[in-house]
Chains A and B, each alone.
Chain A
């Protein structure tokens, strides 16, 4: 949810939202929600701008962008927290006193209808998330002895991967390989490099 210290900015955005007709607001929200459900590749602000012009509503470019950004953030975070329409309205009211009943009603109605679908899409996307390797550390160890085997004498390779996810979060993953496993791993990467060169 937008932070409290930006309350001037928020109040301005909320003000603008509440000035436009419920129908127009519903349209804009619909646009954003369709994108968040994964049915569209992005939010086309040019399209929204046209819609506003046809409705003869004058709103400067920056104000429109702020509005879209606000709605995206609001719906996105509502989806992540998986909240209901009622909870959404409470949260919005907490964030600004400028809300009108009519606008809140539009948001409530649309979120009640599409909120679950947005949340599901976010979950699905999290599963498909492809990270990038930031750093790789390694160690070569020898398992000497354990309580079930006094002489393990088992060498192993341990890798620690630092991965940045699409969200920007960095996480760490570590895993162990036996020597033969490592050598297969190495071989696979060499094959990959060879293919990349020829592509």
Chain B
């Protein structure tokens, strides 16, 4: 029973650390984790455990370890004696955690290193411009209105509103086809 509890607590600790470090959950603090998961442990002991797990997680995430790399890494740690070592249960917990959270942690790291605004949303509609004339040009035919929602990580969105006639849409489509072509070339060669 105790072992299952210990495993559960460790898994929860790892999740808590990920929430704070990678998922921007400001409600999770070291104190909260201790009081929820390891109320009986001494503060020093908990800090040591917390820091150790955090350090290991960061190493694993920074290197974006795959399965083989992770196993090698954890095995090496379990073989180590003393404070730097890991118990088999701890290694197992880390392995389980990374298997389930790797993609999400990676996404968070990618988002963090993105400094240009990203496309948060896109909506559009097509109007039929019945009458002329905007700025003196006769403009009958369909007009597309596109609203782009742009924003940097952690900042409010900005909305950019654009209108396109058919010619413009086709020009844009041509460029997008070029982009897709480039993507296909590169993705297939990696």
Q: Which residues of A contact B (CB under 8 A)?
A: 128-133, 136, 138, 140, 142-143, 146, 148-158, 161, 163, 173-179, 181-186, 188-190, 192-193, 195-197, 199
Contacting pair B106 A149 (CB below 8 A): yes
The 4 lowest CB-CB distance pairs between A and B, nearest first, are A146-B113, A196-B142, A149-B109, A199-B142
Q: Given the complex of chains A and B, what is the CA–CA distance between A196 and B127 in angstroms? A: 9
Q: Smallest distance from the beta carbon of A61 to chain B beta carbons, Å?
A: 20
Contact sample, A vs B, 9 pairs, CB 8 Å cutoff: A128-B161, A130-B161, A136-B175, A140-B179, A149-B110, A149-B113, A151-B63, A152-B109, A173-B117
**Minimum C-beta distance from A11 to chain B (A):** 31
How far, in whole Å, are A184 and B63 apart by their CA atoms in the complex?
Answer: 30
- Contact: B116 with A176, CB < 8 Å? yes
Indicate if the CB atoms of A143 and B110 lie closer than 8 Å.
yes
Residue of A nearest to B65 (CB): A151
Number of CB contacts from chain A to chain B under 8 A: 134
Query: A133 touching B124 by the CB < 8 A rule?
Result: no
A133-B160 in contact (CB<8A):
no
Cβ–Cβ < 8 Å partners of B183 in chain A: 140, 155, 157, 179, 182
9-residue interface stretch from B31-39, B91-99, B162-170: B162-170
Q: How far is the CB of B113 from chain A (nearest CB, A)?
A: 4
Give residues of chain B (55-83) contacting chain A, Cβ–Cβ below 8 Å. 61-64
* CB atoms of B109 and A155 under 8 A apart: no
Q: How far is the CA of A150 from the CA of B106 in the complex (A)?
A: 11
Check if B187 is an interface residue, CB within 8 A of chain A.
yes
* Residue pair A188, B175 in contact (C-beta under 8 Å): no
Partner of A176, one of B117, B171, B178, B186: B117
CB-CB nearest in chain A for B109 = A149
In the bound complex, what is the Cα–Cα distance between A196 and B169 (angstroms)?
9
The answer for the CA separation of A184 and B183 in the assembled complex, in Å, is 14
Q: B122 near A130 (CB under 8 angstroms)? A: no
Interchain CB contact under 8 A, B113 and A158: no
How far apart sit A197 and B183, CA to CA, in the bound complex (Å)? Answer: 28
Q: Give B149-174 as 1s and 0s: 1 = Cβ < 8 Å from A's Cβ atoms.
A: 01000000000111110101111110
| 20 other A-B residue contacts (CB within 8 Å) besides A143-B114, A161-B162, A177-B119 | A130-B162, A131-B161, A133-B172, A138-B175, A143-B110, A148-B113, A151-B63, A152-B109, A163-B160, A173-B117, A173-B148, A176-B119, A181-B119, A182-B176, A186-B173, A186-B179, A188-B124, A189-B176, A193-B173, A196-B142
User: Which of B112, B176, B179 contacts A148 (CB under 8 A)?
Assistant: B112
